Structure 1
Amino acid sequence: MADIDLPADLIELERAAWTEIQAGALTVETALAVHQGVTEYAAREDVEASRLEVETLLKRIVRHPQPDADAA
């Protein structure tokens, strides 16, 4: 996978969607905002990753966070 540096606002959108999903209350507006954010980010000229790669990384970051390496 390409080296992708996701913007904080996109991560926050996915966190909001994940919270809604877990509560069984995902709205169309939230899902659409995430989808549009991922699509727009992947379409940028300086991003060398597909929309699928961006979305996969975003979900991994939010749904399966890595333990903080500095906390060890």
Structure 2
Amino acid sequence: MAHTFDELVEMQRLADEAHSRVLELGDTYGRPTATPWTAQQTETYETAWQHWRDLAAQAQAAVTAHAKEQDKPRFGVEAAVRAKAWHPEQAAA
């Protein structure tokens, strides 16, 4: 069963939050080639990165299934999901 549009938006938001966490860790730890990371930093970053990739893959698969079920172009569904996830105030207007 495909997800509803609102579920797709929530999945995208979760993936975006996880990506923000990865970027935050990268900013906090610095570049590993400039200042080597500890084993704990490496594990934390890799766990966060994998979590983001898993959420993003799930969101993308759900968008594909939704578009197919609704017989709509995938890129259009993805664009609408991202627009509402990133700018909910504009999508509601």
Same fold (TM over 0.5): yes
CA displacement at 1:8 relative to structure 2: 2.3
Q: Which has the higher helix share?
A: 2
Measured in 2, the distance between the counterparts of 1:17 and 1:57 equals 16
Structure 2, gaps ≥5 residues long: 23-47
Unaligned runs of 5+ residues in structure 1 are: 1-5
Task: Return the offset for 1:48.
Answer: 4.3
* Count of paired positions: 62
Alignment match, 2:35: none
Higher-Rg member (1/2): 2
RCO higher in 1 or 2 (8 Å CA, sep ≥ 6)?
Answer: 2
Amino acid at match of 1:66: E
Alignment partners' CA distance in 1, 2:77 and 2:6: 13
3-state SS, counterpart of residue 89 of structure 2: coil
Percentage of identical aligned residues: 24
TM superposition score normalised by structure 2: 0.57
Using the alignment, how far apart are the partners of 2:21 and 2:55 within structure 1?
Answer: 13
Q: TM-score, normalised by structure 1?
A: 0.71
Give the Cα–Cα distance (whole angstroms) in 2 for the partners of residues 63 and 37 of structure 1.
18
Identify the residue that residue 3 of structure 1 maps to in structure 2: none
Q: Report the alpha carbon displacement of residue 56 of structure 1 after superposing the two structures with TM.
A: 0.5
